[in-house]
Amino acid sequence: MYKIWIDEAGRWPWLWPVVACSLTFNKNNPLDAKFLWELNDSKKLTEKKREELFTKLIQFSTWENPQVYFWVWVVDNYLIDEINIKQANKEAMRRSLVELLRKIDKKKIEGVLVDGNDNYVFEELDKKPLYIVGGDGKVTEIWAASIIAKVLRDKLIWTYALLYPNMWLENHKWYGTKKHIEYLKDASSITGIHRISYKPVKKISEQKPKLLLHICCWPDASVPIMDLKKEYEVICFWYDPNIQPKKEYNKRLKALKKVCEIEWVEWIEWEYDVANFFHEIKWLEHTPERGEKCVKCYDMRLKRTALEAEKLWIKHWTSTLLTSPHKDIQKMFELGDKYSLGKKLEFLKIAFRKNNGFLRSVEYCKTHDIYRQNYCGCIYSDTFDGKNFSW
């Protein structure tokens, strides 16, 4: 008569499969007592010792008259997500049991014993299994089953560690360690082997990707922020040394802060390096709107925004400059590509002015009593009247 023992490995990690092993010793060809003495709970053995015992168990199971009968079944993360880990664990145990019953006569089964307290019922059995809480710390056969399940699972880890070298799988073994949490920065870092249904992973999967949005002025920013918030976690980046005089700059910055509070978005204020602006447009001061002076102005602000996006590890970025009908949108698309190249950045080429974007921004300012300027910001603008000019 045989007693079948079942154990699993990989129930609690955040990735890939759960592995179950059903095992029984052949009493008609018993294992050597010295070998049995070497067995222990897989968690208490060194990796080297587990590998050694695993190899021997495989060997003992392949002889013409096996000393060990076992079978292993693997249930992947997709089924875990579909039916939950408890049911997936049951399925792994059930299938390993079904396959083992192909090797031995079901009529000779004295009973099935399972490590844990899940209280599963297997239709393939005439009577319910016996559950042993903490069995992996007490029973020799469960030790053997746990060694097989754990070593097989670890072999899967080494394989996936090669496929995902930046995840350090060989170190955290798929658990929610600090290293694993650091890797899971956002939804884009979740892989096809993660268990999406697990709360920590699910929480990250539901997060919107971050986007750094360069703000040129609040009126032009209203529509981009409202539209982009639907798909991204928007972070506003204020860098506009072209805006003069300083009191005008302060008015527009104040308007930005007001709207960020209304829209619940984060904002970053960068340096007001107006001297750099004048240096960049030197000899181009009196070129026409949308000409070389304006292109230099786009260039310095988009370049600075791209650097910030790279520093903050934010892949997606764009600018509210794409809202105004007075700007050269094609030139900004080119600059966006230029400063994304080789930095793993993606510049969103969105013409915010479309779909009545400009008119919607005007309406927003009226509704929320937001300051709206009458010139782009540069003192060389065609619409700057020069009144009350002071630094």
Model confidence at 317: pLDDT above 90? yes
Shortest CA distance to 316 belongs to which of 209, 184, 226? 209
Do the first three CATH levels of 2-164 and 210-368 match, i.e. the same topology? no
Cβ atoms within 10 Å of 363's Cβ, excluding its own: 13
Residue type, 1: M
Domain topology for 2-164:
Nucleotidyltransferase; domain 5 (3.30.420)
Write the CATH number of the domain with boundaries 210-368: 3.40.50.620
- Sequence-separated (6 or more) residues with CB below 8 Å from residue 38: 49, 53
User: Cα angle at 145 between 62 and 83, to 5 degrees?
Assistant: 115
Q: What is the pLDDT of residue 9?
A: 93
Model confidence at 309: pLDDT above 80? yes
Q: What is the pLDDT of residue 386?
A: 65
Mean pLDDT of 349-368: 82
Which sequence spans correspond to the domains of the chain? 2-164, 166-205, 210-368
Distance CA 241, CA 303 (A): 13
CA distances from 45 to 141, 151, 236 (A): 15, 11, 53
- Sequence-separated (6 or more) residues with CB below 8 Å from residue 64: none
Shortest CA distance to 2 belongs to which of 94, 72, 70? 70
Distance CA 283, CA 131 (A): 85
Q: What is the pLDDT of residue 389?
A: 53
Distance CA 77, CA 195 (A): 5
Mean pLDDT of 73-93: 96
Distance CA 72, CA 100 (A): 9
Q: What is the pLDDT of residue 391?
A: 45
The pair of three-digit structure tokens given for residue 1, joined into one six-digit string? 């008569």
The pair of three-digit structure tokens given for residue 155, joined into one six-digit string? 């072999």
Cβ atoms within 10 Å of 364's Cβ, excluding its own: 20
Lowest mean pLDDT: which of 227-241, 280-294, 335-349?
280-294
Per-residue model confidence as pLDDT tens digits over 137-156: 889 999 999 999 999 999 99
Model confidence at 377: pLDDT above 90? no
Per-residue model confidence as pLDDT tens digits over 244-288: 889 889 999 998 898 899 999 999 999 999 999 999 999 998 888
Shortest CA distance to 72 belongs to which of 16, 173, 158, 145? 145
The pair of three-digit structure tokens given for residue 290, joined into one six-digit string? 């949308």
